[in-house]
């Protein structure tokens, strides 16, 4: 298989900001979600053929409160309030994995905060096929 990494700081960011003040990120930084329901990052991904894919979202949550996010693929909900629990520190990164089906060609993957606390800090999305 192949794995393609899509940095959050290069994605479409709604109610969030790219920052680089916590170590350990990939690329040039990460996205700090605003403290708002609906804050989100949307990646545009490309797959040569339809099929099952593993999505891996790398994140840090230095709080002790879960920061759930809805995950959509091409606008369809694929994970409802997926948990992003505390990682122990803002510079401690973990990955959250889910399996989805992607069509051939271009797809959008969006991670949207569902609570007023906002999302975790998000480093990247990987698509493994």
Contact positions vs ligand GCU (CB under 6 A): 22, 32, 63, 90, 118, 121
| Nearest-angstrom CA–CA distance, 28 and 23 | 11
Q: Which is nearer to ligand GCU, 79 or 119 (CB)?
A: 119
CB of residue 10 vs ligand GCU: minimum separation in angstroms? 18
Q: Which is nearer to ligand GCU, 32 or 40 (CB)?
A: 32
Q: Which is nearer to ligand GCU, 18 or 98 (CB)?
A: 18
- The number of angstroms, rounded, from the C-alpha of 100 to the middle of its chain's C-alpha atoms is 14
| Nearest-angstrom CA–CA distance, 25 and 20 | 8
Q: Which is nearer to ligand GCU, 53 or 60 (CB)?
A: 60
- When CB distances to ligand GCU are compared, the closest residue is 32
CB of residue 63 vs ligand GCU: minimum separation in angstroms? 6
| Nearest-angstrom CA–CA distance, 80 and 60 | 19
CB of residue 11 vs ligand GCU: minimum separation in angstroms? 16
CB of residue 68 vs ligand GCU: minimum separation in angstroms? 14
- In sequence order, what DSSP letters do the residues of 58-118 get, joined into one string? EEE--SSS---EEEEETTEEEEEEE-----SSTT--EEEEEEEEE-SEEEEEEEEE-STT-
Contact 31, 13 (CB under 8 A): yes
């Amino acid at each position: 298989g192949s794995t393609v990494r899509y940095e959050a700081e290069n994605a479409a960011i709604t109610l969030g900001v790219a920052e680089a003040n916590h170590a350990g990120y990939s690329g040039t930084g990460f996205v700090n979600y605003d403290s708002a329901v609906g804050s989100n990052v949307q990646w545009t991904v490309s797959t040569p053929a339809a099929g099952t894919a593993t999505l891996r979202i790398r994140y840090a949550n230095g709080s002790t409160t879960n920061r759930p996010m809805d995950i959509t693929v091409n606008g369809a909900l694929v994970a409802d309030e997926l948990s992003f629990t505390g990682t122990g520190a803002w510079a401690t990164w973990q990955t959250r994995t889910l399996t989805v089906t992607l069509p051939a060609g271009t797809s959008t993957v969006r991670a949207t905060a569902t609570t007023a606390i906002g999302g975790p800090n998000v480093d990247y999305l990987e698509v493994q096929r």
